[in-house]
Structure 1
Amino acid sequence: MTNFRADDLDEDLTSLRGDCARMAPHWTRPEHPAARPVPPSQIHGVRVPARSARLLDAMSDYGD
């Protein structure tokens, strides 16, 4: 797990929110949700900036 300073976390969280805002228009919601999960083999084309991935990796799974 990566250790972040509070200033780094605030800056990275802002960056993560910006990344999400830029990606949101590319996500579509189906009119009728699928009745079962999509197999991982059918998921492709998702790109997450490395900085956001590192931030998420450093977050606690269960909260603090």
Structure 2
Amino acid sequence: MTNLKAHAPAPADLEDDLASLRGDCARMAPHWTAPEKSTARPVPLSLIHGVTVPAASARLLEAMPEYGN
């Protein structure tokens, strides 16, 4: 038989939610390790293939001034 524990419902007080979340994150931070820093290398264009863009997305980007011009 499995021992299922019931958890209390989330608090309704919104002001304490952020503090509670930050406290949870601070307690969990030691359990997570950051990966070794690696430098991103550019990918040669010859290796990029098989990418398709739907026509609607292309038209949307083309209509945006900062992308289309």
Pair in the same fold by TM > 0.5: no
Indicate the TM-score class for this superposition, using the shorter chain for normalisation.
0.3 to 0.5
Q: Which has the higher contact order (CA 8 A, sep 6+)?
A: 1
Between structure 1 and structure 2, the one with the greater Rg is 2
Give TM-score, length-normalised by structure 2: 0.36
